[in-house]
Structure 1
Amino acid sequence: MEKFEAHRQRMFGLAYRMLGSAAEAEDVVQDAYLRWQGMEREGIGSPGPWLAKVVTNLCLNRLTSARATRERYVGFWLPDPVATEALGPLETAEQRDSISMAFLVLLERLTPAERAVFVLREAFSYGYREIAGVLDLSEANCRQLHLRARRRVGERPRFDAPGEHRRAIVNRFLAAASGGDLAGLEQVLAADVVAWSDGGGKVTAARRPVTGRDRVVRYVAGVMARFGMVGVEFAHAEVNGQDAFLGRGGDELVTVLVVEVADDRVIGLRAVLNPDKLSHFQ
């Protein structure tokens, strides 16, 4: 048990990047634990590589059905929000960006095999020989899958580094949004800002992205006014490597709003309102 627990957070981080769902990632880690319990430990040289292989292949089994489910999803799909600290040490900007909602949405473009190779290579720095061992493929095939994945993903999102300066920008955004300060919102939003909402058809949410500063200002002002009318209060958190706000009405979490900042401006807003995706924070 102790050896498995030493790898639990890393395995959750791998499964979450593969699936974009915290609940499914936890299920995969639990399935891996059951397989670990049923194995003769003498046959396992090193727990880390063995668990990575088990978790990756469990995720591959789920990805085909997950894609079909997302094709039927009502409105815009966003990954489950997860507290940054739950996803393990993030020592580089690339590792931090690899858990961003923006990046996980891009990974939806990939086939299951491409996604597995890309995540192992880009987020966990696996060599092609290691990836080949995990997926039971040749090194040449893994290189080809990685090249295809990079082309499909395209340019990866880049955000301002975390810290007091970025925190000050997102606090200015919240103050302006909560106070109905349209001029203040205009100052903090980038000209090409985009706002996405995920209600999953279960709560009211914009079903298409809202684009451009003028539209986003009006949209945010309207949404925050509605939240204010029902007593929703916001508290800062770090979610998916970004600054975010947890909106609660009483004891109930009603939204997680991730604020993406680049070049000292808010470039993206991702609001998760689907109650099924908020249980990880309850």
Structure 2
Amino acid sequence: MDSHTVLFQKHRPRLMGLAYRMLGTQADAEDVLHDAWLRWHSQDKDSLDDAEAWLVTVTTRLALDRLRRAKVEREHYTGPWLPEPLIEPEQQPDTQAEHAETLTLSFLLMLERLSAEERAAFLLREVFDYSHAEAATILGITEEACRQRAHRAKQRLREERTRFTANAQTQRRLLERFADALQHPTEENLRTLLAEDAMHVADGGGLVTATLRPLLGSERIARLYVQIGKLEQGHDIRRDLRLLNGTPALLTWVDGKLVTVIWIECDGDRIVALHALRNPEKLARLAAVTEWPSGTSLH
């Protein structure tokens, strides 16, 4: 590789981390990086004082434009929209690393509540540690406007974060119990795991069967999974716990095909929110690199 390609690849993990957090899907993030590479390839490198600053600025603005379009598209999305797990092994966050929380699927979903401009300002300031002045330059706005956007975003996210504080170990324990209950599902054994006001959100993208609106209440969620259990009878069902985006997720295969990825939020004792990703287009990358479990036990 020539020196300019080497330089781009050096900064690629940072650019990918920014684009993915902005957009919530690896496919969109990779498209942004491809466009950034094309602009970098045609740029007069000798005219640049700071190559990293140039690359971050271009990537941020491309991601911002794409996110604005995506927000319009997601308004017409069939049913709820959920983020897509990050698949590249080198991009999987260490659970102890600084800012790893901001890559979790639950956090990415919270970011959807922000405007595109608030999301960009927050990520640049709070995750990538740019000063308000530096972030303002990247975004092409005044420092005061950048400060206000980042502050509003931080306030909103702080309010959302109070809903769930359980660590990964607690999430894994509850997911294991949930998976055990799914082997012989009854309303009683499922309801013991769910908070009374629990919420279930499923993303089928209009391509597979999924609830089209959030389902509220432990009773309704339990009935749903009892019905799913009946539909699974006679099929080869395998379930496996994996670490996705730094937190536990329950993967379900039916007759050799990955059909669902579930992650949860909990209050320490019970599941308060259950997210079921079923859109086959979002599962395709994960299915391509994940082996069909050889047994039925979780690991």
What TM-score, normalized by structure 1, do the two folds share?
0.88
Q: Distance in 1 between matches of 2:232 and 2:246?
A: 25
Cα deviation digits, residues 40-90 of structure 1 (max 9, x gap): 333344443322211110011112221121111111111123249535456
The 5-angstrom pairing of residues 20-169 of structure 1 reads: 20-83=24-87, 86-89=91-94, 91=96, 95-153=99-157, 155-157=159-161, 158-163=164-169, 165-169=170-174
Q: Distance in 1 between matches of 2:160 and 2:52?
A: 28
Q: Distance in 1 between matches of 2:239 and 2:57?
A: 40
Aligned to 2:297: none
- The answer to whether the 8 A contact 2:241-2:250 is kept is yes
Higher mean C-alpha deviation, range 77-86 or range 166-175: 77-86
Cα deviation digits, residues 8-40 of structure 1 (max 9, x gap): 222222111111222111111122222222233
Q: Which runs of 5+ in 2 are unaligned?
A: 289-299
Higher mean C-alpha deviation, range 244-253 or range 39-48: 39-48
Q: Which runs of 5+ in 1 are unaligned?
A: none
Q: Of 252, 262, 266, which aligns to 1:261? A: 266
Cα deviation digits, residues 217-273 of structure 1 (max 9, x gap): 222222243235432322111223321122223443222111223313222211111
Aligned to 2:191: 186
- Cα distance, 1:122–1:181 mapped onto 2, change above 3 Å: farther
Give the aligned residue type for 2:29.
Answer: A
Q: Distance in 2 between matches of 1:20 and 1:77?
A: 10
- The answer to whether the 8 A contact 1:260-1:267 is kept is yes
Higher mean C-alpha deviation, range 226-235 or range 124-133: 226-235
- The answer to whether the 8 A contact 1:10-1:87 is kept is no
- The answer to whether the 8 A contact 1:23-1:280 is kept is no
Give the aligned residue type for 2:59.
Answer: V
Give the aligned residue type for 1:111.
Answer: S
Q: Of 237, 250, 254, which aligns to 1:245? A: 250
Give the aligned residue type for 1:54.
Answer: V
Q: CA RMSD in A?
A: 2.4
1:177 aligns with 2:178: no
Q: Distance in 2 between matches of 1:181 and 1:96?
A: 36
- The answer to whether the 8 A contact 1:190-1:267 is kept is yes
Identity of matched residues, % = 36
- Cα distance, 1:227–1:128 mapped onto 2, change above 3 Å: farther
Higher mean C-alpha deviation, range 187-196 or range 205-214: 187-196
- The answer to whether the 8 A contact 1:242-1:259 is kept is no
- The answer to whether the 8 A contact 2:80-2:202 is kept is yes
- The answer to whether the 8 A contact 2:24-2:84 is kept is yes
Residues matched between the structures, number = 280
Q: Distance in 2 between matches of 1:96 and 1:180?
A: 34
The Cα of 1:275 is off from its aligned counterpart by: 1.2
What TM-score, normalized by structure 2, do the two folds share?
0.83
